[in-house]
Structures are given as C-alpha cells and as structure tokens.
Amino acid sequence: MSDRRAIFATIKAARPGALGWTTAEIRELDNVLDRLGVPRDQDPAVGWSNDPQWIRVARPLIGQREIPGPQHNGWIAKGWARLGAGWFNDDETPWCGFFVAHCMDAAGLPYPAKGEFARAAAWASYGIACPAQLGAIGVKKRDGGNHVFFIVGETPDKRFFKALGGNQSNRVNVMDIAKSDVYAIRWPASMPLAGIALPVMPAGTISRNEA
C-alpha cells in the first residue's frame, strides 16, 4: 500500500458512519499531501491521481451492498428519492443506474432525468460516445435488461473491461465484463475527454449477476 493510500484509508477508518469521500474532500486532502511531498498513487486499483471526479466518488463506495431480508441499505433506499425516482424505496430494485447517477450527481454532473437514470439502457444515449478510457460509462446487454458501470481498466488479454459498478452480485465492486457484451461507451458531454489509457489489471471474477 502506498503512503497516500494508507493515509486515505487511515482517515476514512476514523470517520465512523461515513459512506465515502466527497470530491471536495479528496481534492483538499490531495492538495495538502502534495504540499507535504507525499507521492500520488499510481496503483490502478486506487487511481486517485488519474481518476475523473466521478470515479473519485465511486471508488470509496466499494463494499456498499444490499441487505438480505426485509431491511434495506439506507444509502440506496433513501437515495432514489434524492435523485428523482422516489417511487423506488428499497435495495432490491436493480440499482446499477442509481450508483452511476449518484456518482455523477456528487461530482456536479447531470444524469438522465425524470427517473430514467434507473434504466441502465438510458445511459446508452447519455452524453457523447467515446473510445474506452478510464472513467467512461459502459452499458452491457444482459438477459432481462441492461447493466451500466464505469470502465476503470482492462485485463491483460484485452478481452474484459474492469467494471466498477453497483448491483454486481448485489454490491459495489470491480468485476470483469466481456468487451463483446458492451454495446455503448459514453462520456459526460460537458467534460473534455480525458483520453487516459485503460490501466491493465489482473483478471478477476466475471460479473454474471447484475439483476
């Protein structure tokens, strides 16, 4: 673990109940550590230094998950209404679109309105088309619907994207999604294309449960 990653992890552990870092907090702490001479992370699993703002919001949410049974994860259940889809109030409705919309909103960017963000397919026409790159939004066709996620890397054989997404096996995590299954890659229209090449990351678990 790098010095900077360890600092972030230590501070996060001291913030009981916190759901993750805000974009402003990450930027402020990065600036302080820059002045102290602490090297920026180059670990693609962390990616603080190269990440677009919305990915900086997304990574600390890794580990958020559904609660089995009648209880619900409040971050998901209460978040629907905040984003404009108040007819949902649980963590059992497929929530990959919620996760992406939450990250965009927290980064100060628009997302499909009028509750459309909840439909993964709505993200296929979001913003502008772009080549695969760090932070791009990928939309996958799956049995029974679609799945939306952030592209944060690729496997050494170039066959799979490393997908940072919600509702992947009922949680936020990074899993492998076949490039051949991805039919749309998008970027926020108001943001310049970063053009950051995809980090090559070890092959992991293939995502098969996104419902």
Binning pLDDT at 50, 70 and 90, where does residue 134 land? very high
What percentage of the chain reaches a pLDDT higher than 70? 78
Give pLDDT, residue 49.
61
Q: Is the pLDDT assigned to residue 41 strictly greater than 90?
A: no
Q: Is the pLDDT assigned to residue 36 strictly greater than 90?
A: no
Residue with tokens 């990928």: 138
Confidence (pTM)? 0.79
Instruction: Please state, rounded to an integer, the average pLDDT across all residues of the chain.
Output: 87
Report yes or no on 13 lying in a domain: yes
Report yes or no on 38 lying in a domain: yes
Give pLDDT, residue 101.
98
Distances (CA, A) of 181 to 106, 116, 178, 187: 28, 22, 5, 18
Least confident of 22-26, 58-62, 65-69, 70-74: 22-26
Report yes or no on 31 lying in a domain: yes
Q: How far apart are CA 148 and CA 170, in angstroms?
A: 14
Give pLDDT, residue 1.
41
Give the domain range for residue 6. Answer: 1-49
Strands 128-129 and 137-142: unpaired
Handedness of CA 96, 101, 104, 109 (dihedral sign): positive
Residue with tokens 């992947």: 168
Binning pLDDT at 50, 70 and 90, where does residue 39 land? low
Q: How far apart are CA 134 and CA 87, in angstroms?
A: 33
- Section 175-184 average pLDDT: 97
Q: Is the pLDDT assigned to residue 67 strictly greater than 60?
A: yes
Q: Is the pLDDT assigned to residue 43 strictly greater than 50?
A: no
Strands 145-154 and 160-165: antiparallel
Give pLDDT, residue 211.
81
- Section 62-88 average pLDDT: 96
Report pLDDT digits (tens) over 192-207: 998 888 999 999 999 9
Report yes or no on 43 lying in a domain: yes
- Section 173-190 average pLDDT: 97
Side-by-side strand order, sheet with 182-187: 128-129, 182-187, 137-142, 145-154, 160-165, 173-178
- Number of domains composing the chain: 1
Cα–Cα nearest to 84, from 67, 106, 109, 102 = 102
Report yes or no on 23 lying in a domain: yes
Report yes or no on 27 lying in a domain: yes
